[in-house]
Amino acid sequence: MKTEQQFFQEGKSIQTYMNEMSTLKEESFTVYDNFRLPDDGLVEKLETQSLHFLTITEDWCGDAMMINPVIRKLAEAADIEFRVALRDADTTLIDRHLTNGGRAIPMILILNEQGELLGKWGPRAPEVQQIVDELRGALPPKEDPTFAEKQKEIIATLRERYMSEEILWTYVYDSFKNTLTNIMEKK
């Protein structure tokens, strides 16, 4: 069985991955180009940690479209190598990191220099999860003939909000920062 470190070593850089995206590329780069890291000292703390990030993702995922660029900005600023493992190409990795029994993405794995798993974050910041839950709660039952249409509308709404509402990017950053801070405090 491949280790997280092996997936990391075999993975593309986040830069290459984003450049090669076939779906949601423009939206992802909109987030990347417009997100500004806060001057909160996190970058300086991370520069001393020798960490690696590995995102389990797919380019069709709206959450990943917003989250990967935010984490990429942080990784680049702190000189952290950030690589990609595609969820659907080999499900053995995501199956070790399920969310409520599901293969939810993106899942960001935080590894030390030796490739040992220190922690993980994903698939959403709690505030974003609340928005998703509220929208899903308004869906009709799956048997309803309008369910598929209404679900598509919700996905389109989320995609637009993920690309345009900077507060959502801040929620992602703050939640990921909390995870990183907890990891650094344990070291």
pLDDT (tens digit, 9 = 90+) per residue, 128-183?
A: 999 999 999 999 999 999 999 999 999 999 999 999 999 999 999 999 999 999 99
**Is 121 in contact with 110 (CB distance < 8 Å)?**
yes
Question: What is the structure's pLDDT at 174?
Answer: 98
What is the reported pLDDT for 1?
Answer: 87
- Asked if residue 187 has pLDDT above 80, the reply is no
Q: How many domains does the chain have?
A: 1
Residue 57 and residue 60: Cα distance in Å, rounded?
9
Read off the CATH number of the domain in which 51 is found: 3.40.30.10
Report residue 132 as tokens.
């998703």
> Which three-class secondary structure state does DSSP give residue 59?
coil
State the pLDDT at residue 31.
98
Tell me what pLDDT residue 186 has: 86
User: pLDDT tier at 106 (50, 70, 90 boundaries)?
Assistant: very high
What is the signed CA dihedral for 34, 48, 97, 155, rounded to 10 degrees? -10
Q: Which tens digits make up the pLDDT trace of 38-88?
A: 999 999 999 999 999 999 999 999 999 999 999 999 999 999 999 999 999
Give pLDDT, residue 37: 97
- How many residues are there in the chain? 187
Domain interval for residue 180: 4-186
* Residue 6, pLDDT above cutoff 90: yes
Query: For the range 33-36, what are the long-range contacts, defined as Cβ-Cβ under 8 Å and sequence gap of 24 or more?
Result: 34/166, 35/69, 35/70, 35/73, 35/166, 35/169, 35/173
